[in-house]
Chain A
């Protein structure tokens, strides 16, 4: 039977070269509208004097960037962003590896453990952080009450988790670890189950013990997957502001701000959108590099 000749708009749907872009268009529009457009606005705001109270803006060049580089709070926030990300991801990797190895074995209640493990990841981050805020509360901290019940601390030596800068940083890192650890575990578990068993069996037959198998066989073979897990964790933690916003609001006295939370407080709460945008733009070059590395690793893993 002859095909009708392609004529008019209706026949676009028959042509793959048109149909593909048409079907992709909503997703692309979404990315443009909700990511590209706000990003371009942020770039524009960062070189202007726009405020929340005024719709007009004037060019100020790099004044906002100069201003924030002079600010000790910004420098502290930049440092904190790296510290929180690096420390929490190291802990996540170690704990996720342990949990993944454990979940590879069969034991009673394994489905329940897997379900509980996923809860921190699937529950809304703000909700989880509010729970942690109560656990760190200066009066009703369940952590402190437990430590006191175990006679490890007394009422006079209660740690004020969110009131001392060092303890507040530990508190923030713990929340990040709690949140990211399930995600990393699932990725590593998937990686472990895909390892060729004959290699591990051969190593066992040759007399390699657990630690040697772990460090000389399993971890090197898991490296691509671990890299993906680390890079996802880095991006999520680096760009996060919710944990700081809910838990400490940047306190005590600006000592736990990260770039995201500082940008919010300066730009939205303080009203200086230009400066807030300049702070948030600092994240961009780093996250671009991370994204490039992620894509390269993923591609190399795919090729392998």
Chain B
């Protein structure tokens, strides 16, 4: 009995001690945190993608943010994630109402308008200093109904055609129009076995490429007033064209692609044509110099109605309402834009400025690139501002357009028609049904 009593006492004493000790530690913890916090500089947390041109991230992470942080007594923390994870991460931060001060999207994030501050002052400040924001950037980040800039675009990325000049010379043509791509691409595939590669899968590059085709055929998701116009004869023509383009010039691998697949496709020497930013050519210069001489750039092909392309990537920073360092975030963006000529050069011409006057000698810079073969290879990019437009053209990039974009309604429409899973008419109708549902939802919101 005595030993049982002793054991009972030991167990009770143990539990008491542990319980009281834990409570005590928890009680004292804030004192430690407070005293630590008051000695530290401010913090600015930034989340952005892992840039396809590694040199940009080297500059941004190790030079620009470090120097900025020293000037502003701020510890800048830059987190990089894969482009495919951006939306999921944004949803998580909004749900937790906690996260980064600056969050970068690669396409207009209109669905998050209610979660971000008004960026109007920021845009106006930069416009005062550097001139107007590009129209395509304005329509990507502005809501005309609420008159709110729900994001701040520092840059956009042109989406040229990347073609194998050596292969296209053998068929005596050049991919200047979509018909050229179809006819020339089919000949090259037949003669040399090199297919065209335009993604037909649920990823960013496909979304942009399919819209480039649509808009150049005069087909649009919406009109200027934001009313759904997807079911039109122009859309049907665009879908029929993509079906023919796939069946005559491509292989089924395009249904499996992610954002890096077309890069590998061209660098491996397989493809004759792809739509992509200059990451293909820059990677070729570093890793496959022989291929770099063969891959050249072309304007976005023209359709029967017009030449029109999307940006390959629309860089949009947002400052969350729950950001802990909003003032630091605003100042950072202002300073980033002030240094945009450097950013443009460090990105190796990948990031085109949304405020064009921040790189006044852009055309001169791209006209003579020391790594380009030939040196004026990249000069064609200077023309893109004339025919590049925003997602949702001729309207704005609204929340409904954002959801249509994020759920890959357009790539699915083209993909199903290309594989004859649905007829072109059925594919357009299916897309219209889905988009009607999405548009109706956001009208009620």
Q: Does A284 contact B (CB under 8 A)?
A: no
Query: CB distance A254 to B412 under 8 Å?
Result: yes
Which residues from B are CB-within-8-Å of A269? 87-88, 406-407
Query: CB distance B265 to A139 under 8 Å?
Result: yes
Q: A54-B445, A268-B87 known; A251 and B201 CB under 8 Å?
A: yes
Centre residue among B113, B255, B399, B403 by max chain A CB count within 10 A: B255
Q: A251-B255, A252-B415 known; A52 and B16 CB under 8 Å?
A: no
Q: Does B8 contact A (CB under 8 A)?
A: yes
Which residues from B are CB-within-8-Å of A139? 253, 264-265, 268, 270
| Nearest opposing residue in chain B for A58, CB measure | B444
Complexed CA–CA distance, A140 and B264 (Å): 10
Give per-residue flags for B401-423: 1 if the beta carbon is below 8 A from chain A beta carbons, else 0.
Answer: 01100110001100110010100
Q: How far is the CB of B404 from chain A (nearest CB, A)?
A: 9
Query: CB distance B255 to A53 under 8 Å?
Result: no
Complexed CA–CA distance, A85 and B201 (Å): 25
Give per-residue flags for B255-266: 1 if the beta carbon is below 8 A from chain A beta carbons, else 0.
Answer: 111100100110
Q: Does B15 contact A (CB under 8 A)?
A: yes
Q: Does A67 contact B (CB under 8 A)?
A: yes
Q: Does A80 contact B (CB under 8 A)?
A: no
Which residues from B are CB-within-8-Å of A55? 94, 97, 114
Q: Does A289 contact B (CB under 8 A)?
A: no
Q: Does A224 contact B (CB under 8 A)?
A: no
Centre residue among A10, A14, A54 by max chain B CB count within 10 A: A54
Which residues from B are CB-within-8-Å of A140? 264
Contact of B407 among A161, A251, A266 (CB under 8 A): A266
Give per-residue flags for B1-16: 1 if the beta carbon is below 8 A from chain A beta carbons, else 0.
Answer: 1100100100110011
Q: Does B203 contact A (CB under 8 A)?
A: yes
Q: Does A21 contact B (CB under 8 A)?
A: no
Q: Does A112 contact B (CB under 8 A)?
A: no
Complexed CA–CA distance, A4 and B114 (Å): 62
Query: CB distance A253 to B421 under 8 Å?
Result: yes
Which residues from B are CB-within-8-Å of A51? 111, 445
Query: CB distance A253 to B411 under 8 Å?
Result: yes
Which residues from A are CB-within-8-Å of B421? 165, 253, 255
Query: CB distance A52 to B111 under 8 Å?
Result: yes
Which residues from B are CB-within-8-Å of A13? 11-12, 15-16
Which residues from B are CB-within-8-Å of A138? 251, 253, 256-257, 261
Q: Does B300 contact A (CB under 8 A)?
A: no
Q: Does A3 contact B (CB under 8 A)?
A: yes
Which residues from B are CB-within-8-Å of A67? 437
Q: How far is the CB of B36 from chain A (nearest CB, A)?
A: 28
Which residues from A are CB-within-8-Å of B111? 51-53, 271
Q: Does A72 contact B (CB under 8 A)?
A: yes
Interface of B is mostly: helix
Which residues from B are CB-within-8-Å of A161? 256
Q: Does A34 contact B (CB under 8 A)?
A: no
Which residues from B are CB-within-8-Å of A73? 412
Q: Does B441 contact A (CB under 8 A)?
A: yes
Query: CB distance A49 to B441 under 8 Å?
Result: yes
| Nearest opposing residue in chain A for B421, CB measure | A253
Query: CB distance A3 to B268 under 8 Å?
Result: no
Q: Does B75 contact A (CB under 8 A)?
A: no
Interface size on A, residues (CB 8 A): 45
> In the complex, which residues 414-445 of chain B have their Cβ closer than 8 Å to any Cβ of chain A?
415-416, 419, 421, 430, 434, 437, 441, 444-445
> In the complex, which residues 55-72 of chain A have their Cβ closer than 8 Å to any Cβ of chain B?
55, 67, 71-72
Contact of A52 among B8, B112, B251, B255 (CB under 8 A): B112
Centre residue among B270, B403, B444 by max chain A CB count within 10 A: B403
Q: Does B115 contact A (CB under 8 A)?
A: yes
Interface size on B, residues (CB 8 A): 55
Complexed CA–CA distance, A162 and B203 (Å): 14
Which residues from B are CB-within-8-Å of A201? none
Q: Does A191 contact B (CB under 8 A)?
A: no
Q: Does A110 contact B (CB under 8 A)?
A: no
Q: How far is the CB of A196 from chain B (nearest CB, A)?
A: 43
Query: CB distance A53 to B114 under 8 Å?
Result: yes
Complexed CA–CA distance, A51 and B400 (Å): 12
Q: How far is the CB of A203 from chain B (nearest CB, A)?
A: 51
Query: CB distance B254 to A163 under 8 Å?
Result: yes
Query: CB distance A268 to B88 under 8 Å?
Result: yes
Q: Does A250 contact B (CB under 8 A)?
A: yes
Q: Does B252 contact A (CB under 8 A)?
A: yes
Which residues from B are CB-within-8-Å of A253? 200-202, 255, 411-412, 415-416, 419, 421
Which residues from B are CB-within-8-Å of A86? none
Which residues from A are CB-within-8-Å of B97? 55
Which residues from A are CB-within-8-Å of B201? 249, 251-253
Q: How far is the CB of B113 from chain A (nearest CB, A)?
A: 7
Query: CB distance A53 to B94 under 8 Å?
Result: yes
Query: CB distance A1 to B2 under 8 Å?
Result: yes
Q: Does B91 contact A (CB under 8 A)?
A: yes
| Nearest opposing residue in chain A for B2, CB measure | A1
> In the complex, which residues 1-26 of chain A have their Cβ closer than 8 Å to any Cβ of chain B?
1, 3, 10-11, 13-14
The 7 closest A-B pairs by CB, nearest first: A138-B253, A252-B255, A253-B415, A162-B256, A163-B252, A270-B407, A163-B255
Point out residues on A near B: beta carbons under 8 Å: 1, 3, 10-11, 13-14, 49, 51-55, 67, 71-73, 136, 138-140, 155-156, 160-165, 168, 248-255, 264-266, 268-272
List 15 A-B pairs, Cβ < 8 Å: A10-B12, A53-B94, A54-B114, A54-B115, A54-B445, A67-B437, A72-B430, A136-B256, A138-B256, A140-B264, A249-B202, A249-B203, A253-B411, A270-B406, A271-B406
Point out residues on B near A: beta carbons under 8 Å: 1-2, 5, 8, 11-12, 15-16, 87-88, 90-91, 94-95, 97, 111-115, 193, 200-203, 251-258, 261, 264-265, 268, 270, 399, 402-403, 406-407, 411-412, 415-416, 419, 421, 430, 434, 437, 441, 444-445
